[in-house]
Chains A and B, each alone.
Chain A
Amino acid sequence: MAASESDQAGQEYEHYEAVVVGCGPGGAAAAARFADHGVETLVLERGTEAGSKNVSGGLIYAEDSAPYTIDDLFENFREEASERPVTDYKIHNIAGNKVKTYDLTDLHEHDTDWCDAVLRRPMDSWLEQRVHEKTSETGGGVLTDVRVNGLLRENGEIVGVTCDELDPITADVIVAADGVNSELARDARLMDWDEPDEWFQGVKATVEMDGETIADRFEIDDEEGVAHLFSGDLFDDVRGGGFLYTNEDSLSIGTVFHLDSLVAEQAEPHQLLDSLLTHPLLAQWFRGEYREREYAAKLVPDSKKVAHKEPYRDRLVLVGDAAGQMQAQGPIIKGMNHAVSAGALAADAFVVSRGNSDPESAGRRYAKMLERSGTMDKLRPRRYDVARTVGERDIVANAVDRVLESPIGSVAVGNPLSKRAMKRAYNSPFLVSMLPDTSTGYVTLPSIIGEEHGRTIHWENEVEPPTLEERIGDLTYDTDVGNPHIRLQDESFEASGDAVYACPVSAEDFGGGCYRSETVKTNGSEETLVSLDTQPCVECGTCAIVADTEWEHPRGGKGVEYREG
């Protein structure tokens, strides 16, 4: 049983050596390492089961150069918790019905030991079981349905956590692995939620397809899987792209866009997903059959901009999305692997600095380990910082776009010689890491490639994706009636209207979503106001950035419950 520690007022708190908040891959890795070191570890997870709050594309990588991989820490991970390995990796450059496909397997295999598709509910719930077994042996365990809502401080110093469901708990080290909307990172003032250009937003459909059909239509065997990426003009001018990954008996199909671009274009995320789902290119795999198991959404930090270089304060360390550790550059999206490295390193850092009276010694060592292991340079490549200053200046970008779109530029990219060069460029990890985040890389270039080199697709796509209302209707919720977790601070359209479009479960002229706009007549003048109903909320956090809200997670076990994730 846990020892107790008391504050000045004589209040007795429960105490654990380590408290880990969140049981995703980052939290699981930290907890597993703590347990390996014999540290008494309590893991607090707000979902009713780990994975019920989690969404990813999702591919999990094991990099050759990584300090830790998930199968290092959890035996039989690949056999028991993941879906198909990615054995074939392609990108499709799309211009209308014309498509040019490049094989990206070389890029994909760079520094890759293995890479598997995963669904987060089955994966994370499997991890939870393992973590509970391991941590139970050292006097702790995993508790679900518990939401950590903030930090416990003594004399201004962080010493523990506060929860909705439990009395405050003190710890020698606190690992915040509470995801992209980390309440602890915000409480510690290590992260803010202000700039849309620091984030991506993804939406995903998990689509039913039995294993035999997958093997047949993607021309793979049982032990193989594919990853397809999609870019070009099928998303109009919104910067981002699409993906399709094969699971054991389903497909993960989604789209990921820069949040600032979604906002600027007033694009509806679910409609962009539908643009992909209904593109003729996908008809060859659907053959007119489409059953969506789950619609999901996630906010993704752009590590190039927000990965925290010193992700600690006092006894608190941040891990994974909570620290902005999500690498998205060009077609590569890597998050879970970095969370695993970070979580394990954070635990190691605590153990080697244990006994040091300076409460920040573990955090400092953790930051150093992130640096030395090369993890930080993957998250925030130095060459990107250099390239960005040039590439993202609008003038330069526009000039490049204009040249590419001009007859001369198109000819240059369309030149048979450049065909090979283009594929090589796509497969260069070095070049890809420098791609600026303008529409050049996402829209202009792929469209020209598609237009100049592409072959016209003649399939008819007859798929009709579910409406947003049907998608919301199919999700499972345990609504905390009368206790909304988001409050709208400013209901003017100027302050919060962007959420009507950018929220993945809201849409213009749709009354069943979270955010709705309505025109109100007052004293002869008209005003457009925004209203909020949190019932359909999928807890992605988009509105916390694009609207003026007071945003918290729902209480433990409440809110949306993903079955696939």
Chain B
Amino acid sequence: MEGRMRSVVLTKGVPDFSEGAVSFNEEGHLERGKTPTVMNPNDEVALEAALQTKVRHGGHVSGMSMGPPGYASVLEEAMESVYADDSYLLSDRELAASDTWATAITLCSALEKYQETVAEIDLIFAGFKTADGETGQTGPQTAWALERPIVTHVLALDIDPDERVLRAKRLVEGDVDEIETVEAPLPCMVIADPEFSPTYRKASHRLTHKRLRGETEERAADHEAHLTTWNHEDLNLDPDYIGLDGSPTIVSSVDPIPKAPSEREATMIEPDDGEGMERVLEELQPYAGGD
């Protein structure tokens, strides 16, 4: 079919920071071992952008992530939500403790290998930033390494497959927030803004969406069959330039931010404490006039 788009979505597993799931030790440091891993929340938006592209133009979406073998579950989650066709996990001890630079180098090599061995990529999607690192650097650095144009803070997306042009509305934050409309040639990289929302105003698009959902349920149930794992040798990467050794960033220490002490004093009064309730009324009396 004319205009089919080949997309790769970059996603990352992050600690589940939600109440009840996250675990901190006595010094206030995150206990990764005790905290479950979930898909980075901002990546869900990137996935939605990739899905919109697949629904509107047809094609193929691959999920890609760098991390320990357990991140396969994140890719499985991605497959379910983006109806991805397959998953690529970049996993290797040598890759551990990479900073954004080393991660970008690794992702770049994997994307190049994908182009050489799988298919030419039209679009790469990534989330705005991760919930653990919060740098927002990995996406742009990867685009730089790949020498691809990048469009960030994308709110809405439209692709002209014949002209091979992407048109996007992007949020420009400043003294006054503005929405800019830009064009970029394909292939390129798209960073979805957390405010991105997919739109499906055509019945045929919604029917496609529904069909893909049905097809994905079966595929995701057999995720391993659609998962490819690459290590640093597969990617032909020198261990000196990846992982901890390849990471110029040094995190010297992490200081927990102490909780602000409560400035208000609370007095507890039981509802059936008559005397106490009277004191409450007395306290409130001066404000009863509505002033």
Residues of A within 8 A of B211 (CB): 136, 141
Min Cβ gap A88→B in Å is: 42
Could you name 21 residue pairs across A and B whose Cβ atoms are closer than 8 Å? Answer: A1-B204, A2-B203, A2-B204, A14-B203, A14-B204, A42-B203, A44-B203, A136-B211, A140-B207, A141-B207, A141-B210, A141-B211, A143-B203, A143-B206, A143-B210, A146-B203, A146-B206, A165-B201, A166-B201, A167-B202, A169-B203
Q: Binary interface profile of B, 200-228, with partner A (CB < 8 Å = 1, else 0)?
A: 01111011001100000000000000000
Chain B minimum-CB-distance residue to A165: B201
List the B residue with the shortest CB-CB distance to A140.
B207
**A143–B207 touching, CB < 8 Å:** yes
Q: Is A16 an interface residue when CB atoms closer than 8 A count as contact? A: yes
Q: Whole-angstrom distance between the alpha carbons of A44 and B210 in the complex?
A: 13
The A156-172 residues at the B interface (CB cut-off 8 A) are: 165-167, 169
Interface residues of A in 1-33 (CB under 8 A from B): 1-2, 14, 16
C-alpha gap A141/B206 in the complex (Å): 10
Interface residues of A (CB under 8 A from B): 1-2, 14, 16, 42, 44, 132, 136, 140-141, 143, 146, 165-167, 169
What is the CA–CA distance of A2 and B204 in the complex, to the nearest angstrom?
A: 7
- Taken together as a complex, chains A and B put the C-alpha atoms of A329 and B81 apart, in Å, by 51
Q: Establish whether residues A14 and B206, one from each chain, have CB atoms under 8 Å apart when the complex forms.
A: no
Please report the total number of B residues contacting A with Cβ < 8 Å.
Answer: 8
Contacts of A165 on B, CB cut-off 8 Å? Answer: 201
4 tightest Cβ-Cβ pairs between the two chains A and B: A141-B207, A167-B201, A143-B206, A2-B204
Nearest A residue to B210, CB-CB: A141
A16 to B204, CA, bound (A): 10
Question: In the bound complex, how far is the Cα of B204 from the Cα of A169, in angstroms?
Answer: 11
Give the distance to chain B from A232, nearest Cβ to Cβ, in Å.
Answer: 47
Chain A residues, CB < 8 A from B201: 165-167
The distance in angstroms between the C-alpha atoms of A141 and B207, with both chains bound, is 7
CB distance from B43 to the nearest CB of A (A): 25
Q: A132 CA to B207 CA in the complex, in Å?
A: 10
4 additional contacts, CB 8 Å, given A14-B204, A143-B203, A166-B206? Answer: A2-B204, A16-B203, A141-B207, A166-B203
Tell me how far the C-beta of B1 lies from the nearest C-beta in chain A, rounded to whole angstroms.
10
Report the minimal beta-carbon distance from B93 to chain A, rounded to whole angstroms.
Answer: 47
Contacts of B206 in A (CB 8 A): 143, 146, 166
Min Cβ gap A148→B in Å is: 11
> CA separation between A141 and B213, bound complex, in Å?
14
Specify which chain B residues have a CB less than 8 angstroms from the CB of A166 in the assembled complex. 201-203, 206
Quick one: which of B185-213 are within 8 Å of A by CB? 201-204, 206-207, 210-211
Query: What 0/1 pattern do residues 224 to 255 of B give for CB contact below 8 A with A?
Result: 00000000000000000000000000000000
Could you say which residues of chain B place their CB within 8 Å of the CB of A141?
A: 207, 210-211
Complex Cα gap A169–B203 (Å): 8
Report the Cα distance A165→B211, complex, angstroms. Answer: 19
What's the least CB distance linking A500 to chain B, in Å?
30
Bound form: Cα–Cα A32–B202 in Å: 22
Residues of B within 8 A of A167 (CB): 201-202
- Bound together, the chains give a CA A312 to CA B207 distance in angstroms of 28
* Assembly CA distance A378 to B203 (angstroms): 37
- Nearest A residue to B208 via CB reads A1
Q: How far is the CB of B213 from chain A (nearest CB, A)?
A: 12
Q: Which residues of B contact A143 (CB under 8 A)?
A: 203, 206-207, 210
Chain B 130-173 interface 0/1 with A at a Cβ cutoff of 8 Å (1 = within)? 00000000000000000000000000000000000000000000
Bound together, the chains give a CA A2 to CA B203 distance in angstroms of 9
Q: Which residues of B contact A44 (CB under 8 A)?
A: 203
Residues of chain A with a CB closer than 8 A to B202's CB: 14, 166-167
Give, as a whole number of angstroms, the nearest-CB distance from A42 to chain B. 5
A132 to B206 CA separation, bound complex (whole angstroms): 13
Query: A129 to nearest B CB, angstroms?
Result: 11
Q: How far is the CA of A167 from the CA of B204 in the complex (A)?
A: 11
